Amino acid sequence: MVDVSDKTPGKRTAVAHAFVRMSPSVIKALPKNPKGDPLEIARIAGILAAKRTAELIPLCHPLPLSHLDVTCTIHTRGPKGGVQIRAEASTTAQTGVEMEAMMAASIAALTVYDMTKALDKGIEICEIYLLEKTGGKSGAYRRPKL
């Protein structure tokens, strides 16, 4: 791990994104899922995952998270519809919180897949990336619109 003991703790935030692409028939079936509400289960799974980031990513510092939110939104864009996931994390610490946000988005996406895979094996998890971050020596970052 990188030694961050000389760094001054500061407020750090990060927002990550993931998208689970699925067919219109799977989107339509989301509210009737026999396992429960995939979006709510994914939200909780993302929050739990972020809290365990340092256990799963070998050189990641354990951080005291002061806020974590995961939102899952259904998008119906014809054959390219699916579930958009947005994970927001914040802390006051000596290092950034990007990995916690990325972990939350990734695990939430995997949870949506797990809860819908019986309906279609062709569901795709894609577009996992950092949207923005604040704090730290490198300052603010915002992903450019492509």
Give the three-state DSSP class for 112: helix
Q: Is 114 a catalytic residue?
A: yes
- Residue 78 CA neighbour count, 13 Å, CB half: 0
Q: Which of 3, 6, 69, 114 is catalytic?
A: 114
Of residues 14, 3, 16, the one with CA closest to residue 105: 16
Rounded Cα gap, residues 101 and 112, in angstroms: 17
Element spanning 107, H or E: helix 98-116
DSSP state of 141: E
Residues taking part in catalysis: 114
